[in-house]
Structure 1
């Protein structure tokens, strides 16, 4: 009789939670015993990012109604059995009474629970409870013969078993909580790396900046996870330059304002004021674009937009054939046309009074004219008379490009007007074409991910653009903060706590004795600021060369993993992320895929934008992707777990 199949998983976040559901289903369907060893020092189901112990002021950046880690009735094509369950919004509604009792005495937590609804942006601490409950549901529903062993420890190394080719996980000396003991080695048949977000060691530039700050008594906060950083080095009242205006920046501002005793007050006229707590630094903020990420849409996204229309696998083949594709040269024009087409379909459908020709006539002409042609521009100008109603990709992407302010005040006022205008538009159904563009970007992300998975992108696009420029644009347009965060940012700007520097910000170290400082300016005006502190408000960029993860470092040093890189005209390009083959197997320096080692998540090339949870009611691909990965893991494990292979099922639909 064969022994149970053993799968080792490094990581315990939402992706692993979803995968556990699919692993158990495949094992049950095959009537095979399965033991899954999950190793992660952080919370089960939540992992590092969504763990319960963190600042209660920090929110998720998606509405509660848009978050689920359990399949709903819309999800198809999965190997049975399927454990279905509630979204985050549904779970909070179902458990509100019990959660309120648990929060007795915590007025902020109770207020969140009382006000929580489908449109809420949930605190990460409350969301961690949902992930924990989903984990418990998953483990409780495991079929006979499937067991999950949870190890709250860290994996230090991964080696091949010289006897049977299996895998050996080497753990740190912490306690094991699953009753299996505290062995320092854990033999399994196959391993999946799913650590999620990892840290990197400071690079040369960061070490120089930190050394300058130490030598001159200045403060420096390098890239990192804002919820974990020591911000006490930023003194109250000090001038601090902040580079970066994405989600890490939003968390930073929260911790340095409300987190230091400040409060926001609603005015009778509907405005918002900020009352300083007295311990805030003065933040001078800028970035490449010079504006924060576009906020989330605060009204229902239009349905039935017919996406994708201009950018799909079929239209790509029709235009470019079946050869390799360049993301910028070949695909970006199709993506731009998809966004513009969605914008105008929604404008003509919901706001016909702002147009001058019938919708069908416009649609036919838009589809016929060459993208970017003078013919198309002239027709759009006649059909959509107000320039504010026209799709402007340049303004969407880089709203400060080509603009120059004459003073710091003018630049600050220009960015503040943009922040307030963006929040207003994305909270106003009259601007619903903006929501249609968002839907088109999400559709384009799915199509692009599919082309990448099918091996259609050329080397440069895969190594450089996919997780770089494209991921940055996607995040800026579609993965921004809640509208309330921009409303708060505007209030902070009016209160003088935040000052906007503009676009293409640059920072230099001025070592002048007695007045050493970080000096910052931008491409938006002639102004300059001198500051006693510098914060690089962004997450660490995945880079295998500089990882501080002991496991990945050892695998790298032995050549058992490699980063995705290309050489173009004598220059080396790399995105720093792990290379895997089409079945998610790790690829080593020799170019060969390891038959028993897999990886998924933010540190894998091409997966920078991969969702960790699903949007309910959309037949989310997340679950089918996990289903396919579970099948591959068990197929690989079966070779060493017994005399006969596991008869894996084939789910309906695409098995890419």
Structure 2
């Protein structure tokens, strides 16, 4: 997106100046896996790795088609492109595409950008890894894995997912496999890059986590081994094994696979606008200083979720007019504080709607114990079947799925409130990252419905065991095996010979082993962002309070220059995306809605604008003034 906005701005500049002022700009796009598609969307991966956003809601262009050729600033959405290049096999805008197909779309976007370069602008794509970036003599020297060195004036670093040093429990599990050569420990990362083909048929595989990556591992070890799913007359799936599969033994803290996305009923350009959970309302009641997420932010977010939940139920039960009057009444009440939305719903005649409890939804078995795997499997099936029923109703008509979509649609509000020490150090660590983010990921970032249907089929066939809540992954020195078990399910322990960590590594600059990141960290060019509280004393004097080292790369506000160990911002360098997670929030975004300038597009455009400003490179490093760790919202 940065590249797209660079070229779009250069084209605009050329249009204003014509041939009088040649632009003379050289751009290098460096990617070790596949320029354009990158690692996650590389085009040679199997089609069983699916996206979790429908095709019609995705675009990598900053503008919609305008009748001219696709180019930087104007081009088709992913769904429109897919329909144009493969109309016979296009499953529609509400379908979930293979990641490799999205990679092919991204390659087409890159080709369109290349074809729309204005005179004097050259773009070179380099399939190598950037090993180092060193500033000197007013410029930056990039060292590539093939030995080439590039001297440039600006550097944009979007290095993506981390590769972390294994420490703690993960380190112990990996070391156990080193001491027992017949075992395998597969570190967390992209399932498409894991050595899953090496796992023997018929062996047991322990899988850590039941999130999105779990579904990828599950697909690779079933569909990827030649298995197939057939639909029964009642609409359920039956698994047809190939005989070459291993047996999957999976679990997580919740013991419940990630909830399915609701059937999409929203047009591609739909954008929900909150009426209760807005930055203005939150700040009206806390106009200064860092926020406490549990006290100041979450009550307004929960009220917004409840507004949609009860409003949808009212619309279904009593009609659109009742739902609209209910929304107006709640909104008016919000002028004096967080409204009790459930009470208003009851006043409007909705008395049998169960309250929405995010904790119970995210941890459905938290208060339960089970006499054995058979009992847990029965309860688990019931939970999955209920989730599928809710998802089938759709993300407009299902009160639950419509409400949970609010958690996705209001991410921009949360970012505005929590980024750059918007929360106190304790609240960011405990309330937000420790409590809310795991629940939001579980409830609002799920897979297509077909994945949950496949889970049921594999549970029935015996190719998948989900052991239960609070899953443990232990080592047994006596047998030389890993053991997967749930303390809540009697007799659940199963020995496995392979352990796969199906969790995306948490971004952490301090543990990242990627060569470029490690070198920038060691030289103090990249530093870890610290949320520092200040405790007021008498008068205006403040003293240091609690500090939380987030592990995210410390950057300035837009356009996101890294801040070095001396507190200086490097104004010729920009850092965007996953490396800055925890300094900012929810940076793992790879697209925008068609024609809509989300933060994804705005961030990229601001970097493009700044990078093209005429300024002496020798002045690239300046004092950051107020350190980002000390910034406060408001």
Task: Report whether the alignment pairs 1:458 with 2:424.
Answer: yes
Following the alignment from structure 2 to structure 1, what is the Cα–Cα distance between the partners of residues 587 and 444?
11
Unaligned regions of 5+ residues in structure 2, if any? Answer: 534-543, 620-633
Following the alignment from structure 2 to structure 1, what is the Cα–Cα distance between the partners of residues 388 and 183?
35
Measured after TM superposition, the shift of residue 329 of structure 1 is: 3.1
Following the alignment from structure 2 to structure 1, what is the Cα–Cα distance between the partners of residues 257 and 186?
19
Task: Report whether the alignment pairs 1:203 with 2:167.
Answer: yes
Equivalent in the alignment of 1:168: 141
Greater Cα shift, 134-143 or 517-526: 517-526
Equivalent in the alignment of 1:639: 616
Measured after TM superposition, the shift of residue 22 of structure 1 is: 4.5
Equivalent in the alignment of 2:259: 294
Task: Report whether the alignment pairs 1:599 with 2:599.
Answer: no
Equivalent in the alignment of 2:209: 244
Following the alignment from structure 1 to structure 2, what is the Cα–Cα distance between the partners of residues 26 and 448?
33
Following the alignment from structure 2 to structure 1, what is the Cα–Cα distance between the partners of residues 327 and 617?
61
Task: Report whether the alignment pairs 1:24 with 2:13.
Answer: no
Following the alignment from structure 1 to structure 2, what is the Cα–Cα distance between the partners of residues 627 and 311?
27
Following the alignment from structure 2 to structure 1, what is the Cα–Cα distance between the partners of residues 341 and 307?
12
Deviations 1:17-45 (A, max 9, x none): 44444553565468643221221122222
Please tell me the root mean square deviation across aligned C-alpha atoms, in Å: 3.2
Measured after TM superposition, the shift of residue 119 of structure 1 is: 1.6
Measured after TM superposition, the shift of residue 550 of structure 1 is: 0.8
Equivalent in the alignment of 1:94: 84
Instruction: Determine if contact 2:83/2:90 at 8 Å carries over to the other structure.
Output: no
User: TM-score scaled to structure 1, two decimals?
Assistant: 0.82
Distance change (3 Å), C-alpha of 1:376 and 1:170: closer
Measured after TM superposition, the shift of residue 73 of structure 1 is: 4.3
Equivalent in the alignment of 2:51: 60
Distance change (3 Å), C-alpha of 1:501 and 1:433: same
Report SS of the residue matched to 2:499: strand
Equivalent in the alignment of 2:555: 580
Following the alignment from structure 1 to structure 2, what is the Cα–Cα distance between the partners of residues 371 and 297?
31
Measured after TM superposition, the shift of residue 393 of structure 1 is: 2.5
Equivalent in the alignment of 1:148: 123
Q: Mapping of 1:625-636 within 5 angstroms?
A: 625-635=603-613
Instruction: Determine if contact 1:299/1:427 at 8 Å carries over to the other structure.
Output: no
Distance change (3 Å), C-alpha of 1:120 and 1:358: closer
Report SS of the residue matched to 1:502: coil
Between Structure 1 and Structure 2, how many residues are aligned? 592
Match of 1:508 among 464, 474, 478: 474
Instruction: Determine if contact 1:193/1:600 at 8 Å carries over to the other structure.
Output: yes
User: TM-score scaled to structure 2, two decimals?
Assistant: 0.85
Q: Mapping of 1:449-488 within 5 angstroms?
A: 449-452=415-418, 456-461=422-427, 469-488=435-454
Following the alignment from structure 1 to structure 2, what is the Cα–Cα distance between the partners of residues 48 and 305?
29
Deviations 1:304-361 (A, max 9, x none): 8962111111111212113221333321111111111111222222432799x87625
Instruction: Determine if contact 1:294/1:422 at 8 Å carries over to the other structure.
Output: yes
Measured after TM superposition, the shift of residue 607 of structure 1 is: 4.2
Report SS of the residue matched to 1:492: helix
Measured after TM superposition, the shift of residue 52 of structure 1 is: 0.9
Equivalent in the alignment of 1:417: 382
Equivalent in the alignment of 1:11: none
Instruction: Determine if contact 1:505/1:522 at 8 Å carries over to the other structure.
Output: yes
Following the alignment from structure 1 to structure 2, what is the Cα–Cα distance between the partners of residues 248 and 185?
36
Report SS of the residue matched to 1:486: helix
Equivalent in the alignment of 2:155: 191
Greater Cα shift, 608-617 or 303-312: 303-312
Report SS of the residue matched to 2:123: strand
Deviations 1:160-189 (A, max 9, x none): 12x3x2211112226xxxxxxxxx221111
Task: Report whether the alignment pairs 1:159 with 2:134.
Answer: yes
Q: Mapping of 1:104-183 within 5 angstroms?
A: 114-161=89-136, 163=137, 165-173=138-146
Equivalent in the alignment of 2:309: 343
Distance change (3 Å), C-alpha of 1:273 and 1:117: same
Measured after TM superposition, the shift of residue 562 of structure 1 is: 1.0
Distance change (3 Å), C-alpha of 1:435 and 1:72: farther
Report SS of the residue matched to 2:572: strand
Measured after TM superposition, the shift of residue 213 of structure 1 is: 2.4
Measured after TM superposition, the shift of residue 273 of structure 1 is: 0.4
